[in-house]
Amino acid sequence: MSTPQSPEISVSIVSHGQMPLVTALLHDLAQHAAPYVTEVLLTLNLPEELPFENSEFQFPLRVIRNTAPMGFGANHNQAAARAVGKYVCILNPDIRLGSDVFGPLLHVLKTSPDVGLVAPGVLNAHGQLEDSARYFPTPWEILGKALGRRSRRFVARDHELSYPDWVGGMFMLLSLDTFQAHNGFDERYFLYYEDVDLCARLQLAHVRVAWLPAVSVIHDAQRTSHRNLKYLRWHISSMLRYFMSSVYWDASSRKWIMKSTRH
């Protein structure tokens, strides 16, 4: 697949004192994605020093230093408001790139007018496919998972392009116009469920979410909410906010209507 004539993607990365991870990711972008990246917007959510010079990379590196910590959605919304690219990539610092994933993902967005957001497959550190593409959660599934039951797993057939309900916020690629037209992330979610909410709002607006597991990235997941009570509280409060939101009820009603019309 040919590379684009000009860089088109603004990459948004937020660091929470994670500079070793950020440094590795920036070098991955330089090696595998430089032809696509018009800029990287690096938000420092906590005070930290940069162990590199901006000039080390082929793309402009724009650093945003927060005076006070902000949530996941607010940080990426802030970066998107400053972005100059045609597309915006939401990227976690604990993602690693081993090959070109942007070319195939851009191809999906450019050739599928009904697709507004696309994500790659996500592998864990052992090379196993994570469930980063999922069905919308329900309270009953969350309860079942807490009781040790398995939740539904979204599976693509033969690694082909598929259409899950939502994809994880560790890697999302969408046009800047789409992101802004749908008001970006809902900043009332400080952490967790912002990705579910955004994908639900896109689906309600008849904008499809796509997943391309034929290309993949590596995710060194920290699973902080499993070990830190503060993060666990954020996780639970975000989950409750989502299940009490009109977005959840509207998306649930739409899926029920779509199922009933197929029978």
Q: Is the pLDDT of residue 223 over 70?
A: no
**Tokens for 50?**
């940069």
Q: Report the interhelical angle of 246-261 vs 229-243 (nearest 10°).
A: 60
Domain residue ranges in the chain: 9-261
- pLDDT band for position 212 (50/70/90)? very high
Task: Answer yes or no: pTM beyond 0.85.
Answer: yes
**Tokens for 15?**
């660091």
Candidates 3.40.50.2300, 1.20.1600.10, 3.90.550.10, 3.10.200.10; CATH matching 9-261: 3.90.550.10
Q: pLDDT of 145-199, one tens digit each? A: 777 777 778 887 778 899 999 999 999 999 999 999 999 999 999 889 999 999 9
Separation of alpha carbons 203 and 201, rounded Å = 5
Where are the alpha helices (H) located in 152-228, listed in sequence order? 176-181, 194-204
- Closest of 14, 24, 7 to residue 217, by C-alpha: 24
